Chain A
């Protein structure tokens, strides 16, 4: 217990000395102090706000805050309470601003991809796309159209499609490749 207290007192004395030197413009002392504080502040943030997704950001906010108000540290007074008061305030500020931001956001499971997903299009655009695809498929030879229907629309695997059609897997792959190429050209002509 006494050893722990000694360590804590040593750390306090060291931080006070480093902060006093930093206020005098000693860059090395300041760098040493901030490097010392970083893990301590990270532990503090995790303990105060265990669900924070951006612990590193909050710790960085605290470090910048310490930097901007370092003139408020009184060399005659303990350093740790000064540090922890700022840290606690900044954690509370961060929690409040994240909460306020979260209240204006809507969480969605799957974000619709622009142009590709139906969710990002109007009903009319979705209908137009379907019609264009139907017309592009109509020009395919029967074998290629069957391969597209089974594998790309019904979602069968190559093996399953091979059993249904009696064609080899390699033949189906070539058929799909050629069908997609032909459909792309047809869609470019249509649209």
Chain B
């Protein structure tokens, strides 16, 4: 297909489109919908009985807030990564809240050592955190995936990594609201560790999940005409 023919073909397919809303706005929409779903999950699993007492604890409140903030800011970063030429800090911002979350957990570990000595760091196996976080995060992940697919796949690994972080951080926060798992080391290894592991694994599938396939088919059809 000649260049002028291609331009004509594209021009003929130029239907009106609505520009994507700002990444922060899309992140808030995703977070609001996902939060409703998480609220239902927590209601079904049951809110931990000591919730009122725990939320008054600054370390727990900081940890929970950091998990929620990591989730929403990572979602904004994922949406930003699909919009070409947006500022790079938008993708990195989630890292600050992620570090805050890790810091809150580290403070928890320090308090356990202070209270129980080094034996306070001994962790019992809580392997069920991994499948639970995975199961809770799947609907939120599917929703965010369908939303990031509307963007441009220019940074697929980063986009999928941030989307996975947003979903799993939300699931981990839901777990903290339901389960009485307060040994900081266990939370650090089995909950925070699950988030890190799932995020890392998901980001490896970035190119498989976000690609130009439909676009490639279009290109192939144009180029077949050209030859």
Contacts and interface: CB of A to CB of B under 8 A. Distances in A.
Contacts of A191: none
Contact of A64 (B8, B14, B83, B219): B219
A72 B22 CA distance: 10
A72 B14 contact: no
A71 B19 contact: yes
B32 interface: no
B19 A75 contact: yes
A75 B22 CA distance: 11
A38 B84 contact: no
A65 B7 CA distance: 12
A31 interface: yes
A30 B223 contact: no
B6 A27 contact: no
Interface stretch (A80-88, A117-125, A131-139): A80-88
Interface residues of B, number: 34
B17 interface: yes
B124 interface: no
A89 B169 CA distance: 30
Contacts of B22: 74
B214 A85 contact: no
Interface string B2-38: 0100111011111111111010000000000000000
A72 B151 contact: yes
B161 interface: no
